[in-house]
Amino acid sequence: MILKVLFYGGTRFVGKSLVSNLLSKGHEIFVFTRGNLPVPENITHLKGDRSNDEDLKKLSDHSFDLIVDSSGRKLEDTQRLLKFSGLPSYRFIYISSAGVYDNTQLFPVGEDSPIDLASRHIGKAKTESWLKAEGIPFTSFRPTYIYGPGNYNPIEKWFFDRITNGRSIPVPLDGQAITQLGHVSDLAEAIAKSLETDKANNQIYNCSGRKAVTFKGLIETAILATGNKVTDFDLRSFDPSKLDPKARKLFPLRLINFFTDTSKIEKDLSWEPKFDLLNGLIDSYKNDYLLANHEQVDFSSDELLFD
């Protein structure tokens, strides 16, 4: 089944990885972007800003089987887009976030776990509810922390910067809080596989790496990914009690346990991640971090963690 696909976004990170995946499977791809980043060959670029109605009117000249929204944050974003593009004949794919979940003491977090109404991602949860209420065939994905080449969020880069510069690496308390990362290409493959089955219709899926990891384990794995020895680095403990546990300004991950149950997506889609954490971080380090031009990093914020 070859689909005519519209991407809102599609030239950065998740969107870019999914565009590449779907192109390899022969789908016809259109991307609606402002044109700030290069658009891959063999796709149609509809240049425009999703906040501009005149630009969105360009979509009215087309009809699409599949629409992928990898950049929407609020319900109004998606409603406006569909107003101009019309509904997809096959399905709507939405990139949500595991950040919608409320704090809990029960792990792993399942798709039916309570939502945090004060979350900065609450617009994504509202969008999922609206799609379901409107009867629009959709599949939504709630990744935890996505990493891999092209990541514009400073997750693995935060650790690589300190490792490659021989710095002490801040770690909350004893480093035993648990988190979870998922590789961007695994997310893209899960989305692609969802198109192959009706089981994915009107479903919401957690999507991440199969195993969770402690902060200490993550740091040690990042050190190994760079080709260094764990024993050559100092992990410096800090007290996170005075910081917002969900803030990521001084440390790149939530300062509390945060990991999800991925059994539903594995069962429904016969999907499993190809990357374990070490191989995923090696991929990110070799195929992204080492290829980038790095300006001098300011590490002064690290000292704020120890005040």
pLDDT at 223: 98
Q: Evaluate if residue 307 carries a pLDDT over 80.
A: no
pTM: 0.95
User: Is 264 contained in some domain?
Assistant: no
**Residue 295, pLDDT above cutoff 90:** no
Residue 267 belongs to some domain of the structure: no
- Residue 253 sits in a domain whose CATH number is 3.90.25
Measured CA to CA, the distance from residue 208 to residue 165 in angstroms comes to 29
Residue 192 domain boundaries: 4-148+181-207
Q: Is the pLDDT of residue 247 over 90?
A: no
Q: Are residues 25 and 167 in the same domain?
A: no
Residue 265 within a domain: no
Domain shared by 193 and 106, yes or no = yes
Residue 271 lies in a domain: no
Same domain, 47 and 186: yes
Q: Are residues 174 and 192 in the same domain?
A: no
Distance CA 193, CA 220 (A): 32
Q: Are residues 286 and 203 in the same domain?
A: no
The pLDDT of 168-186, averaged and rounded, is 97
**pLDDT for 139-165, tens place per residue?**
999 999 999 999 999 899 999 999 999
199 and 222 together in one domain = no
- The answer to whether position 226 is within a domain reads yes
Residue 203 CB partners (closer than 8 Å, separation 6+): 139, 140, 194, 264, 268
Residue 102 has a pLDDT of 96
Q: What are 98-139's pLDDT values in tens digits?
A: 999 999 999 999 999 999 999 999 999 999 999 999 999 999
Instruction: Look at residues 207, 225, 248 and tell me which one is the last residue of a structural domain.
Output: 207
> Band of the pLDDT at 203, cuts 50, 70, 90?
very high
* pLDDT confidence of residue 37: 87
Closest CA to 70 of 29, 19, 2, 113: 19
Tell me the per-residue pLDDT of 3-59, one tens digit each, with 9 for 90 and over: 999 999 888 999 999 999 999 999 999 999 998 888 888 899 999 998 899 999 999
- Give the pLDDT confidence score for residue 249 in this predicted structure: 84
pLDDT of residue 245: 83
Q: CATH number of the domain that 69 lies in?
A: 3.40.50.720
The mean pLDDT value for 171-176 works out to 97
Q: How many CB atoms lie within 10 A of CB 79?
A: 14
Do the domain assignments include residue 266? no
Same domain, 44 and 144: yes
Are 75 and 144 in a shared domain? yes
% of the chain exceeding 70 in pLDDT: 100
pLDDT of residue 25: 95
Number of domains in the chain: 2
Of the pLDDT bands very low, low, confident and very high (cuts 50, 70, 90), residue 300 is very high
| Cβ atoms 271, 171 nearer than 8 A | no
Specify the pairing of strand 169-172 against strand 235-238: parallel
pLDDT value at residue 39: 87
Instruction: Assess whether 99 and 134 both reside in one domain.
Output: yes
Q: Does residue 187 form part of some domain?
A: yes
Please state the separation of Cα 32 from the chain's center in Å: 19
Residues 11 and 131 in one domain: yes
Assess if residue 220 is contained within a domain. Answer: yes
Provide the pLDDT confidence category of residue 246 given band limits of 50, 70 and 90.
confident
pLDDT at 188: 98
**Is the domain of 91 the same as that of 171?**
no
Question: Are both 173 and 188 inside the same structural domain?
Answer: no
